[in-house]
Chain A
Amino acid sequence: MGQPFAHKSPIPGLGLSAGITLSMLSMMVLLPIAALLVQGFSAGVPAFVAAVNTPRTWAALFLSFRLSLVAALFNLMFGVVLAWVLVRYRFPFRKVLNAAVDLPFALPTAVAGIALTALYAPNGAFGQIAKDWGFKIAYTQWGVLIALIFVGLPFVTRTVQPVIEEIAREVEEASATLGATRAYTLRRVIWPMLAPAALTGFALSLARAVGEYGSVIFIAGNIPLKTEIAPLLIVIKLEEYNEAGAAAIGIAMLVMSFGMLFVINAAQVLSRKRMSNV
């Protein structure tokens, strides 16, 4: 370590690969974000504040981030269990199920949205059951939540799966022979090993949900202050040819996402440190 650029790696090509990395990263990520910032502040800071600081924008941002957080938490728990089952147990159709986990990645989000709406609308298969029990799923915040869970599902499972594959059974057996209860083994032996990967998956799932548009608009109902997500508000601003306003909300989302990812990364660093003490 020390000075990273002075360090001679036995593998040549740092100059070339660093050049490729920097130019790709600039073109694909940094430039669009810079353009977003320029566009968002093009009308000045007061216009930026005016675009973001309205009850409707706050309601949409709050809805987007709150539901994304809930969806990511759900995916964190369910994703770890799913990964555990897929790695540790052998049962018929395990490989089919394993492949099915990736479907939310492969399906165009609009298709997913329409399919979920068809299922959860009051005349759909699940929506009908909910209706009999006296509540609605599609066109409410529950519908938004289901869509967000769907699109973020694979992340945790796919990040945690390889880690679980690496955990030797002997570790659990050792823990048991030393007198640990199952819950204790899970909490103090297994979870610390999974935590960094699980948190990465959680962060990815969260980021995906915050920006999700295609599937959510079909199931959300899109009523301002109730079921209007922040990305829809951006599209609405664009329809009004208000590009600066759209970019302003985009920047607000970017800042909030960055803040959340920062916290998650900090948690990850913390859990890694704890790991090294075990």
Chain B
Amino acid sequence: MLTAIKQTKQILAQGGVLAAAVAGFLAFGAAPQTALAQSLLNVSYDPTRELYEDINKAFVNYWVGQGNAAPEIQASHGGSGAQARAVIEGLDAQVVTLALAADIDKIAAKGKLPEDWQNKLPHNASPYTSTIVFLVRHGNPKGIQDWGDLVQDGVEVITPNPKTSGGARWNYLAAWAWAEKNGQDPQAFVKALYEHVPVLDKGARDATTTFTQREIGDVLLAWENEAYLAQNELGADAYDIVVPSISVLAEPPVSVVDANIHDDAQRKLAEAYLNFLYTPDAQAIIFKNFYRGWDTSKADPTDVARFPALELVDIAHFGGWSKVQKEHFADGGVFDLIYTAK
């Protein structure tokens, strides 16, 4: 009975595509299982597709170079919260690389990994960081320079729904931090900001699509890497990146999921995979994929130089994720009041 609920929920959550995939999977039988020790499933969030495609290739080379058999590394991407829930409900992920520490905390709360997971790897278990920037239409026709410009008359802002998107929570917090710093009432400011949002997409990638493909809105609040990626793929003459005066230091963390490690060989592989993210080679790939890494020793200097310095506030500034989650994004929290309080 419980599995029935879980499956229904999962299908509902992931929409028709997954349902179709599940149906296809059932119809054609389970995929052949490779030897467990040689395979690893990395459950990640939405905008890391390109990053982990590169990382996985590099890691396989590295791992084979260490005298091991070639492992099969698989990656799954989706909204950070939905991915965390999938792992909680039994998705056999050996490694999670999610957008928010809060999502991994949720997995830890179910006993699938130790509570102190964030101390196991350097930099709060975040091999890379990112921030939120503005992507505007070429030439910046609305003259948007900073958060305050977003609430001008006639400006339309595209940002996903903080209820369903980890990145959107960072967008919201960055706006909050700017208002605090500039002596405005933060709650009034974010309310005004969301009144300029015509579409609340489900995830960061959907919002990028709405802004670029559907040409809705004047400014997209985006992950820095998404903004560069959009510019890269759609042409630098289509969009400009505007860096606001203040933004957030997002630390997307990683962890091994102990409950899903099937033997010692797999544990070795999973730990090596996460440690690999901190090596100069992997950090170079991280910079190349528009994430802010820590180790620039092997990175292409132009990849490093394109990140402008700006004032960054981290989650500790807001009191940590559990407090933020409860105050702002939980049922009846500040975000809900934006739409229901008159």
Question: CB within 8 Å of B: which residues of A?
Answer: 31-32, 34-36, 38-39, 54-56, 108-111, 117-118, 121-124, 138-139, 213-215, 217-218, 221-225, 231, 234-243, 245-246
User: In chain B, what residue has the closest Cβ to A224?
Assistant: B339
What's the nearest-Cβ distance from chain B to residue A19, in Å?
20
B17 touches A110 (CB 8 A): yes
A213 touches B16 (CB 8 A): yes
A221 touches B199 (CB 8 A): yes
Q: Residue B202 contacts which of A54, A139, A222 (CB distance < 8 angstroms)?
A: A222
Residue from B79, B85, B161, B201 whose CB has the most chain A CB atoms within 10 Å: B161
B9 touches A236 (CB 8 A): no
8 more A-B residue pairs beyond the given contacts A34-B1, A223-B198, A236-B163, with a C-beta to C-beta distance below 8 A: A35-B5, A56-B339, A124-B214, A224-B200, A224-B339, A236-B164, A239-B79, A243-B9
B329 touches A240 (CB 8 A): yes
B340 touches A31 (CB 8 A): no
A214 touches B197 (CB 8 A): no
What's the nearest-Cβ distance from chain A to residue B271, in Å?
28
A138 touches B214 (CB 8 A): yes
Q: Which residues of A contact B79 (CB under 8 A)?
A: 239
Given the known interface contacts A213-B12, A222-B200, the answer about A32 and B82 at a Cβ–Cβ threshold of 8 Å is no
Question: CB within 8 Å of A: which residues of B?
Answer: 1-2, 4-5, 8-9, 12-13, 15-17, 19-20, 79, 81-82, 85, 106, 161, 163-164, 197-202, 206, 213-216, 329-331, 336, 339-340
B16 touches A245 (CB 8 A): no
Q: Can you list 24 pairs linking A and B with CB atoms under 8 Å apart?
A: A32-B5, A35-B4, A54-B340, A56-B336, A109-B16, A111-B17, A121-B216, A122-B216, A213-B12, A213-B16, A214-B19, A217-B15, A217-B202, A224-B339, A224-B340, A225-B339, A235-B164, A236-B163, A237-B331, A238-B9, A239-B13, A239-B85, A243-B9, A245-B331
Q: Which residues of B contact A34 (CB under 8 A)?
A: 1
User: In chain B, what residue has the closest Cβ to A32?
Assistant: B4
B198 touches A221 (CB 8 A): yes
Q: Which residues of A contact B17 (CB under 8 A)?
A: 108, 110-111, 214
Given the known interface contacts A32-B4, A56-B340, the answer about A240 and B163 at a Cβ–Cβ threshold of 8 Å is yes
User: In chain A, what residue has the closest Cβ to B325?
Assistant: A240
Given the known interface contacts A123-B215, A224-B339, A240-B329, the answer about A109 and B15 at a Cβ–Cβ threshold of 8 Å is yes
A32 touches B199 (CB 8 A): no
Given the known interface contacts A108-B17, A109-B16, A123-B215, the answer about A240 and B330 at a Cβ–Cβ threshold of 8 Å is yes
What's the nearest-Cβ distance from chain A to residue B10, in Å?
9
Q: Which residues of A contact B340 (CB under 8 A)?
A: 54-56, 224-225
The 5 closest A-B pairs by CB, nearest first: A214-B16, A109-B16, A121-B214, A224-B339, A214-B15
Q: Which residues of B contact A245 (CB under 8 A)?
A: 331
Cα A38 to Cα B4 in complex, Å, equals: 13
What's the nearest-Cβ distance from chain A to residue B40, in Å?
26
Given the known interface contacts A39-B5, A214-B15, A221-B198, the answer about A238 and B215 at a Cβ–Cβ threshold of 8 Å is no
Given the known interface contacts A39-B5, A56-B336, A221-B200, the answer about A235 and B215 at a Cβ–Cβ threshold of 8 Å is no
Main DSSP-derived SS at the A contact region: helix
B214 touches A123 (CB 8 A): yes
Cα A236 to Cα B15 in complex, Å, equals: 13
What's the nearest-Cβ distance from chain B to residue A137, in Å?
12
Cα A217 to Cα B210 in complex, Å, equals: 12
B5 touches A238 (CB 8 A): no
Given the known interface contacts A139-B199, A223-B197, the answer about A238 and B13 at a Cβ–Cβ threshold of 8 Å is yes
Q: Which residues of B contact A36 (CB under 8 A)?
A: 5, 8
B215 touches A31 (CB 8 A): no
Cα A239 to Cα B4 in complex, Å, equals: 18
Cα A36 to Cα B161 in complex, Å, equals: 26
User: In chain A, what residue has the closest Cβ to B16?
Assistant: A214
Q: Which residues of B contact A222 (CB under 8 A)?
A: 161, 199-202
B329 touches A122 (CB 8 A): no
Q: Which residues of B contact A242 (CB under 8 A)?
A: 331
Cα A242 to Cα B199 in complex, Å, equals: 24
What's the nearest-Cβ distance from chain A to residue B189, in Å?
19
Q: Which residues of B contact A214 (CB under 8 A)?
A: 15-17, 19
Q: Which residues of A contact B213 (CB under 8 A)?
A: 118, 121
Cα A55 to Cα B332 in complex, Å, equals: 12
Given the known interface contacts A32-B8, A54-B340, A122-B215, the answer about A223 and B199 at a Cβ–Cβ threshold of 8 Å is yes
Residue from A118, A124, A213 whose CB has the most chain B CB atoms within 10 Å: A213
Cα A222 to Cα B200 in complex, Å, equals: 5
User: In chain A, what residue has the closest Cβ to B106?
Assistant: A241
Q: Residue B2 contacts which of A35, A108, A122, A236 (CB distance < 8 angstroms)?
A: A35
A239 touches B216 (CB 8 A): no
Q: Which residues of A contact B106 (CB under 8 A)?
A: 241
What's the nearest-Cβ distance from chain A to residue B159, in Å?
12
B13 touches A110 (CB 8 A): no
What's the nearest-Cβ distance from chain B to residue A86, in Å?
27
Q: Which residues of B contact A243 (CB under 8 A)?
A: 9
Q: Which residues of A contact B13 (CB under 8 A)?
A: 235, 238-239
User: In chain B, what residue has the closest Cβ to A151?
Assistant: B16
What's the nearest-Cβ distance from chain B to residue A212, in Å?
9
Cα A32 to Cα B8 in complex, Å, equals: 8
What's the nearest-Cβ distance from chain B to residue A80, in Å?
28
